[in-house]
Amino acid sequence: MTKGTVTFFAISVAVPLVANAYQLDVLTSVLIYAMLALGLNLIVGLAGLLHLGYAAFFAIGAYTYALLNIHWGWSFWVGWAPAVLIAALGSGLVGASALRVRGDYLAIVTLGFGEIIRLIFNNLDQWTGGPNGLLGIAHPTLWLPQGMYDFSVKSLPYYYLSLVLLGGVWLFCHRLSHSRLGRAWMAMRDDELAAACMGIPVLKMKLLVQICGGAVAGLAGAFFAAKQGTVTPDSFDFIQSVMVLSMVVLGGMGSMRGAILGAMLLGVLPEMLRGADQYRMLVFGLSMIVMMRLRPQGLLGRSHKESQLAAH
């Protein structure tokens, strides 16, 4: 990890000393968004695949854990793994069905898949509870020397657990982006034809990046279900996919620090504007327009000229 990353996590560990329960709850939601932004950054930022249905894998992870917990009594410490695997499998199936599609057509396919998944969860009343969702999902518990500690609705344990999960996702994405896979994805993003001519199996790389991104969303979904204690289809609509994509674009596509910064800004901004409820979406939209006009590469992203200088 870089010095800046270590500083970020060190400050995050100390935040509960000065934050109240409401602020910790908001920050926990921001950390969930940060995990999603890091996962989508692999697909959009590193591989250059426009994805508009990312909330579908978030939903798959949440519902997988919820069903395992309610019907078979699986705890979060065990149930997160199947949630990750099922979400990765679902993402892989989408990737396999759209391997040869690119650009706007890929965006349409992923958008359609995201809506299909939401409608499936909305209509399978027998399994998913339909529009009412699944209730009574058990919160995580932790064995301590003093006895069993129930997370219940406390803000502090969820905050620290989300911070640990974000650290794991960061390491996973960091290792991937600096590996041969990451370099292959970036080559494919910059020029798919040139990458194929250099011997990079483009179709295989597209499938792998979809699977990795879906796995991260599945983990975030499982944690979200465990924290909320309930999941409903409305929590995973198209707006969620757009929000996560906006975080990646705002922070700078391809930048992991940018993805986290974008999640922090767009996660906290709506709460800061809650007093002006009628105008907050207007302010949000205008700020995004101004940002795209003044710095289209994102806050921490490199411009085309800067990328060329770095390459030389």
**230-231 and 134-135 beta bridge pairing:** antiparallel
State the sign of the Cα–Cα–Cα–Cα dihedral 276, 279, 280, 283. negative
Q: What is the per-residue pLDDT for 245? A: 92
How high is the pLDDT of residue 305?
47
- In 3-state terms the chain splits into helix, strand, coil percentages (rounded to 5) of 75, 5, 20
CA-to-CA distance for 9 and 15, rounded, in angstroms?
Answer: 10
Task: Find the helix packing angle between 21-40 and 238-251, rounded to 10°.
Answer: 80
**Residue 3, pLDDT score:** 76
Structure tokens at 233: 């289809």
What is the b/e burial string over 143-166, where b = at least 16 CB atoms within 10 angstroms of the residue's CB?
eeeeeeeebeeebebbbbbbbebb
The whole-number pLDDT of residue 312 equals 40
* pLDDT on residue 303: 54
Which ranges of the chain have pLDDT less than 70? 1, 273, 275-278, 280-281, 302-312
pLDDT per residue over 222-258, tens digit each? 999 999 999 999 999 898 999 999 999 889 888 999 9
Domain ranges of the chain: 3-235
Q: What pLDDT score does 280 carry?
A: 66
Q: Max alpha carbon distance in the chain (Å)?
A: 62
pLDDT attached to residue 1 = 60
Q: Using CA atoms, how far apart are residues 83 and 241, in angstroms rounded to an integer?
A: 19
Nearest partner of 159 among 309, 8, 14, 48, judged by Cα: 14
Neighbours of 280 (CB within 10 A): 16
